Amino acid sequence: MGATSILGVVTFGAKVLAVAVLVGFFVAASSASPPKYVYRDVALVAVSGHGTVTSKPHGIDCPSTCRTLFVRGTHLRLHAVAAPGWRFTGFKSTFCNGAHATCVFDMVSSHDCVGGACPTGVFGVRARFVRDS
- The count of other CB atoms within 10 Å of the CB of residue 2 is 6
Return the minimum-mean-pLDDT range out of 46-50, 82-86, 111-115: 111-115
When pLDDT is averaged across residues 104-113 and rounded to a whole number, the result is: 70
Enter the pTM of the model.
0.66
Nearest to 112 by CA among 121, 103, 104, 123: 123
The mean pLDDT of 85-91, rounded to a whole number, is 96
Q: Is the pLDDT of residue 72 over 50?
A: yes
Structure confidence by residue, pLDDT tens digits, 32-46: 666 677 778 889 999
Residue 32 to residue 17: CA distance in whole angstroms: 24
**Strands 102-106 and 75-82, how do they pair?**
antiparallel
* SS3 of the chain: helix, strand, coil, percent, to 5: 20, 40, 40
